[in-house]
A and B are shown apart, each in its own frame.
Chain A
Amino acid sequence: MSGFDLAVVLGAWYDFRDLNNLSRLITEWIADWGPDWLSSIVTGLLGSLGILAVIGPTLLVLIWVERKVIARFQQRYGPNRVGPKGLLQPVADAIKLILKEQLAPRAADKLIFFLPPVLIFVPGLLIWGVLPFGPRMSVADLNVGVLFLLAVSGTGVLVLFMAGWSSNNKYALFGAMRAVAMSISYEVPMVLALLTLVVFSGTMSVNGIVEWQQQEDVIFILLFPLSAIAFFFAASAELNRTPADISEAESEIVAGYHTEYSGMRFGLFYAVELGNTLVISAFIATFFLGGWWLWGLDQWVPSWIILLAKTGAVYFLLIWTRGTLPRLRIDQLMSFCWKALVPATLIFVAVAAVERTLLVTQGWDTTIALPIMAVINIALTLGAVMLFARLARSERLRRPARTTLVRDRVGGLAAAREVASQAGGGD
């Protein structure tokens, strides 16, 4: 390209189907006169700014959406005072939080106390980088995108623990401990669910998985429904959302790991929860619902609008589970993870491997073989869910696991008092 032609750039800008055209034009223009590293840096800058331009306003709207939808589930009005339909409520909240005094407990470990509100954003924002918004629209199309996603999202737990530990508050420490235990447990079914997709599509690139779905005209939720369900539950546990929000259970431990944070620092913790939910919904949409692709509709509608629509649908599903289900106990959550999700996803990895090898070695026609495999896998999933439902009904499994209490010992509390008084001490 000879020069920076404004008309061409504007033309590309209006071609909303693929925003990559714009960035490519600019980088090619820079490559004409500038060094190589400059065009690379500009590409990264454009991508990062684009992502932030999407996330910033979306977070503000999401605060309103989440509160409004939850309110509808609970037969309330939700925010409806500030602005039309309460739309300006998030702005008012942000102004209030910014103007509030920021307290820090005397006993806190100061440096580590101040870092988490900023650091907690990093994993959530960094994994946006490997999310493909279109055929060529991702900040970094890594060939190990799935591993990058798992590795980076796993580090979020460290920041939660930093927040809980440095607050020097027992509630915060309990919350952090619970968050760590739960997040690392649900990491395993999450990894295994993604491993199913990697085995079957034969690629670790996120965009590669989407392209595989496009090529074979099938979405992964039909082929591997159990992995989709497991990933959904594991994700909602990783995000500390209600059925699995024991790490910030108000009725037990105040606000969990962010009990001691106030003002804008608390606001950041609140915002990151929604931001992470958004990015995980986007990844669920990408892995299991086909991402930017929708049976040829992506020829007419911009691919990133398709992705955002699917993301919105998954997000609504997450709000739905939050608005419907009560909070589970920690022993229920842990046993559901280790005794139900992990074995089931592990078996499905084997199933996927067998099916993939059959497909490759036998040279079957995928248009016939894939629907048959989908039917088999759906039947297996239904069987697994019904088996779980049958087991979960058993009275013995529903009882909470507890250490033996004094009153359960022989003679009960009275005997214990007797022993105590004979030993000379009161009770």
Chain B
Amino acid sequence: MVLEQYSHLGILLLFAVLFPSIPLVASWAIYKFGLRPRLPNAVKGDTYECGVETEGPTWVQFNFRYYLVALIFVLFDVEVIFLFPLAVALDSLAVFGLVALLIFIGILGLGLAYEWRRQALEWR
């Protein structure tokens, strides 16, 4: 029964790819009929930089802070995902579940406080 529901999503996924393809295919068809221009030249193919020629490679090393944010996010998200099954089972686990959940949230909070203290959350 559940797998059947996922099969519906599979069909929706198919449509989700087809739907945005329609305007692109239409645009291509219009080009084939000769209504849409396609006259590439050297200037049009340039990288857009407000009229100035681009200098050096684009794919360069990036500031470390983006990586740090991603790292903190991965830690947090993975830990928070563990809370979802616990949240659904909270009714049957009652007080024991509550204490476990509070301890887990406490650990998460401690982690956040540590990152805050070490200035990992500052955007510099």
Cβ of A185 within 8 Å of any chain B Cβ, yes or no, is yes
Let me know if A40 and B36 touch, CB within 8 A. no
Query: CB-defined interface of A343-368 with B at 8 Å, one 1/0 digit per residue?
Result: 10010011001101100110000000
A335 CB contact (under 8 Å) in B73, B95, B121:
B121
Cβ of A308 within 8 Å of any chain B Cβ, yes or no, is no
Q: Which residues of A contact B50 (CB under 8 A)?
A: 254
Cβ of A372 within 8 Å of any chain B Cβ, yes or no, is no
Let me know if A171 and B48 touch, CB within 8 A. yes
Q: Which residues of B, 67-116, contact A by the 8 Å Cβ criterion?
A: 69-70, 72-73, 76-77, 80-81, 83-84, 87-88, 90-91, 94-95, 97-98, 101-102, 105, 108-109, 112, 115-116
Query: CB-defined interface of B1-30 with A at 8 Å, one 1/0 digit per residue?
Result: 010111111111111110111011011001
Q: Which residues of B contact A357 (CB under 8 A)?
A: 90, 94-95, 97-98
Q: Which residues of A contact B73 (CB under 8 A)?
A: 184-185, 187-188
Let me know if B123 and A265 touch, CB within 8 A. no
Let me know if A140 and B9 touch, CB within 8 A. yes
Q: Which residues of B contact A204 (CB under 8 A)?
A: 84, 88
Let me know if A40 and B8 touch, CB within 8 A. yes
Q: Which residues of A contact B123 (CB under 8 A)?
A: 330-331, 334-335, 401
Q: How far is the CA of A264 from the CA of B21 in the complex (A)?
A: 10
Q: Which residues of B contact A335 (CB under 8 A)?
A: 121-123
Q: Which residues of B contact A52 (CB under 8 A)?
A: 15, 19
Check A184/B69 contact, CB under 8 A, given A117-B20, A169-B58, A173-B58.
yes
Let me know if A106 and B46 touch, CB within 8 A. yes
Q: How far is the CA of A270 from the CA of B99 in the complex (A)?
A: 47
Cβ of A319 within 8 Å of any chain B Cβ, yes or no, is no
Cβ of A405 within 8 Å of any chain B Cβ, yes or no, is no
B27 CB contact (under 8 Å) in A49, A203, A264:
A264
**Which listed segment binds B: A119-127, A237-245, A377-385?**
A119-127
Q: How far is the CB of A410 from chain B (nearest CB, A)?
A: 20
Q: Which residues of B contact A40 (CB under 8 A)?
A: 4, 7-8
Q: How far is the CB of B34 from chain A (nearest CB, A)?
A: 11
Best-buried of B38, B48, B49, B83 by chain A (most CB within 10 Å)? B48
Let me know if A122 and B84 touch, CB within 8 A. no
Let me know if A177 and B62 touch, CB within 8 A. yes
Check A169/B77 contact, CB under 8 A, given A126-B12, A180-B70, A402-B124.
no
Q: Knowing that A129-B8, A187-B73, A263-B27 touch, tell me 13 more A-B residue pairs with CB under 8 angstroms.
A: A52-B19, A140-B6, A142-B6, A170-B54, A171-B49, A181-B69, A191-B77, A202-B90, A204-B84, A339-B116, A350-B105, A353-B87, A357-B98
Residue ranges of B at the interface with A (Cβ–Cβ < 8 Å): 2, 4-17, 19-21, 23-24, 26-27, 30, 35-40, 44-50, 54, 58-59, 62, 65-66, 69-70, 72-73, 76-77, 80-81, 83-84, 87-88, 90-91, 94-95, 97-98, 101-102, 105, 108-109, 112, 115-116, 121-124
**Can you offer 27 A-B residue contacts whose CB atoms are under 8 A?**
A44-B9, A44-B11, A45-B11, A48-B11, A49-B15, A101-B39, A104-B45, A106-B46, A122-B13, A122-B17, A130-B9, A139-B9, A140-B5, A142-B2, A165-B59, A168-B47, A177-B66, A180-B70, A184-B70, A187-B73, A198-B87, A260-B47, A263-B27, A264-B27, A267-B23, A342-B76, A361-B95
